[in-house]
Amino acid sequence: MVTGITTFQSTKIFLNDILKGINERKIQLPDFQRGWVWDDYRIQSLLSSVSLSFPIGTVMLLQTGNTEYRFKPRPIEGLPSGPVVAPEQLILDGQQRQ
């Protein structure tokens, strides 16, 4: 039986706050996350949508700290070397949500 928090919350979070959390390594990826697969066109399309305030879909963040279930984290690709930090949240993409 699974215990603990079993609800989902929809919270508005600004892109700048997500990027800050990534840079501070408070937001990371779970180790089981697939590698980078987007090409330049998809990246440009996403940035264009964000800059025009178009909806871009959902970003799902998993709160860490559950003592019963822990996922091995890894920093987001492209960050400069830095200290090892235990993340507060993990980003889950569509492949992991299925």
Domain of 49 in residue numbering reads as 15-97
What's the confidence (pLDDT) of residue 24? 93
pLDDT value of position 96? 45
- Please indicate, yes or no, if residue 5 is contained in any of the structural domains: no
- Look at residue 77 and tell me if it is in a domain: yes
Domain assignment of residue 8, yes or no: no
Residue 7 lies in a domain: no
| Residues with pLDDT less than 70, the chain | 1-6, 94-98
Asked if residue 68 belongs to a domain, the reply is yes
Q: How far is it between the farthest Cα atoms of the chain? A: 45
pLDDT given at position 11: 82
* Sheet containing 73-74: order of strands: 60-63, 89-92, 27-30, 73-74
- Structural domain tally of the chain? 1
Q: pLDDT tens across 48-70, in order?
A: 999 999 988 888 888 887 777 78
